[in-house]
Structure 1
């Protein structure tokens, strides 16, 4: 098959001409932190209006209910924002999934709430400009360009833009899995792994756990031997977990909640810990490790331990189908005169969950930028048309091929 892209230039030009920067500016001024349900509702409405330009069904889907362990060790119900779901041509011969997230890591009281132009407007600093309101804008531009191409009729697609990706997608994971079913490939619009456009390749999995330790209170001076110190037990567990780190399994004990007055043996502690297994077999090792250490600590310290949480992001190695999709994306970038490559990443995202459904995914199709999750977050403005054209070309070439 010819690799010429001459016939695709009208669609590529349309993608580049879309009003992406204006959309990024508008959307990034809406605080849509993962727990800001009011801000997320505003953002979801704006996105529903924008994606209504596509010829399909646009629905705001309620999230699955969740729960979290509070600082006192009590499990509390948790609500999440609604998720945008778009379906276009479900009977077309080539079916794709495109995903993104509307939430950011900046809560309503975070001081980072404004936009700043840098280098004469070549760079935009602001909350969520790269991660990932820029990605959503260029995704929409690519889909609109696809609709303007004669090949568009061969492509059907679903779009999921969720409200809780930054907190591991607990309320939207089921929707993503549902939308992934039967898809040839998926594109996710996290910002590029590096400012030069490098894609993230293999990713580890990720599990977040709140481990509740219940001991027994006692007077710290009169009868401490009658107490069972939950803080000491939780600290022992944290140290043993930390020492169990190895190649293929990163472990980060992140926080211990609990304790009280200095003259009371503490009877409650909550250890928060993140584990990142490189491969599915490493995840199995991690599960056994938690089980074994919890049993040992409970017995040695005479405490009760309850483990809350799990592995919300499965490991994402690059299999044969994924390798073919990466090759297509990288070849398309070269045809556009902007060569890129991919490298392994220690981060995780919804691409992990999509890959676990057996669907090959490239999950850093979004804008070029950097310093994400910080007040220095920035978007390289010229990457909006660049990456919109890349997505457009990848989808058109998939329409031509009909397969990977």
Structure 2
């Protein structure tokens, strides 16, 4: 069978699986897999292992625990769920990494737990777009590709990596992502499209999560307040200083997000914990921003007599659209055009595992999942017809890669600079 005929047939086969994909999304959305809900993550991992296990044996990979600073200022370890991995034809010429996460931002106590239909025919539910719909698309595309002729499959090997901690910055799976990036030629990440019309994410900002622990001195608020060192006042000064570090014209944003601390109103508080997020446009901005926060901490100590200890770091480096990224985006857009799709590109301040893969040297397109929107909110929705549309696109991409329609010399592992 000619490659062009195989591509069309297999893409149609993937699209025809839409009823099965929809059933999967409905079932998977009803399983709470919030990033810290270990019981729900384990249940979701079991279901996914059964579904993807039809393709190849599924490895369960233990992740190192997440390091967190509690509201009491104490560093603790928080356990994470397991990552799932399966490999097929690791000896093939092309090696493609397919990535998706199965955690969501909705915890076990969240009111948003079940999918339901919207009046406009879209599906509302936790994770329907981000990213359980993408997992269904990934699976349908792989099943269709694997049903194709052996001569086509022999040219392409693939690895699936499904992680349980993407929504909290992939603290445990980041080493796995970097290791897999080193042994693959291109990456396909099944985050939802950047816009409901199917637009792909282009350049992405980088992200860092930080904590400043402020320790002062307790005292009676009436008898001897002058002997105290008010950690809440220091925290307020810290927050204002952090906000002042934002530089929108340079693509730098700083979001002070939470303050823990304080207690009885007649006690000068001796502890506060400030948590904040930073977004950066360029990798070179990381060192300067980090130094500025350290200087702020030193100034807080000088002004308030409270120690200010900085913890955290940049978990996802910026993802610029370099020549290799652009070439892969063009290839995906060209594949879409063959299917009658117009796939634009839009830069975004959002981050995902595509940032990690790019930082490790792997060119990737990271919005191959479903079309939808309002992610990370109770209004999250999936445009149901996009299940077939995106499964068709992903299948056609795999076929075109296997057929040698993308110049591998630009992407090959052996030629990538470390």
Q: TM-score per shorter chain, which class?
A: over 0.9
User: Partners in 2 of 1:5 and 1:299 — Cα distance?
Assistant: 69
Q: Deviations over 1:53-111 (max 9, x none)?
A: 11x33111111112211111111210011111111111110011110010111111212
- Segments of 5+ residues of structure 2 without an aligned counterpart are 411-418
- The question of whether the paired residues in 1 share the 8 Å contact of 2:7 and 2:400 is answered with no
Q: Counterpart of 2:415?
A: none
CA distance in 2, matches of 1:40, 1:175: 18
The aligned residue for residue 69 of structure 1 is 69
- Matched residues in 1 for 2:361 and 2:67: separation? 28
CA contact (8 A) 1:248 1:282 kept: no
- The equivalent position to 1:360 in structure 2, one of 351, 359, 363, is 363
Tell me the number of residue pairs that the alignment of Structure 1 and Structure 2 aligns.
400
SS at match of 1:390: helix
Per the TM alignment, residue 308 of structure 1 is displaced from its structure 2 partner at its CA by: 1.8
Q: Residue 115 of structure 1 aligns with which residue? A: 115
Report the Cα offset of residue 368 of structure 1: 0.4
1:118-153 per-residue CA deviation (whole Å, 9 max, x = no partner) reads 357x42111111111110000011111121223122
> Which residue of 1 is the match for residue 224 of structure 2?
223
Corresponding position of 1:285: 288
1:200-232 C-alpha deviation (Å, 9 max, x unpaired): 111111111111011111112222221111111
Deviations 1:339-374 (A, max 9, x none): 111110111111110110011111110000111111
Shift in Å, 1:6: 3.8
The residue aligned with 1:8 is 7
SS at structure 1 position matched to 2:196: coil
Corresponding residue for residue 199 of structure 2 = 198
Partner of 1:129: 128
**Shift, 1:5, TM fit:** 4.0
> Which structure 1 residue ranges, 5 or more long, are not aligned?
none
Aligned to 1:322: 325
Partner of 2:413: none
Please give the alpha-carbon distance, in whole angstroms, between the structure 1 residues aligned to 2:88 and 2:134.
20
Structure 2 matches for 1:216-255, cutoff 5 A?
Answer: 216-246=217-247, 247-255=250-258
Name 1:296's counterpart in structure 2.
299
- The answer to whether the 8 Å contact 1:5/1:335 transfers is no
Q: Residue 265 of structure 1 aligns with which residue?
A: 268
**Distance in structure 1 (CA, Å) of the matches to 2:181 and 2:148:** 24
SS of the equivalent of 1:131 reads coil
Q: Which of the residues 370, 391, 395 maps onto 2:394? A: 391
1:257–1:271: 8 Å Cα contact kept in structure 2? yes
TM-score for the superposition, normalised by structure 2? 0.93
Q: What's the counterpart of residue 177 of structure 2?
A: 176
Q: TM-score, normalised by structure 1?
A: 0.96
Q: What is the rounded CA distance, in whole Å, between the counterparts of 1:314 and 1:162 in structure 2?
A: 19
2:39 corresponds in structure 1 to: 38
SS of alignment partner, residue 50 of structure 2 = helix
> CA shift at 1:248, angstroms?
2.0
User: How far apart are the structure 2 equivalents of 1:332 and 1:162?
Assistant: 27
C-alpha separation between the residues in 2 aligned to 1:317 and 1:298? 37
1:375 aligns with 2:374: no
Alignment partners' CA distance in 1, 2:186 and 2:7? 20
Q: Which range moves more in the overlay, 148-157 or 326-335?
A: 148-157
Secondary structure (helix, strand or coil) at the match of 1:114 reads coil
Task: State the alpha-carbon separation in 2 of the partners of residues 335 and 296 from structure 1.
Answer: 59
Q: What SS class does the counterpart of residue 262 from structure 1 fall into?
A: coil
Separation in structure 1 between the aligned mates of residue 239 and residue 174 of structure 2, nearest angstrom:
29
Q: Distance in 2 between matches of 1:7 and 1:51?
A: 23
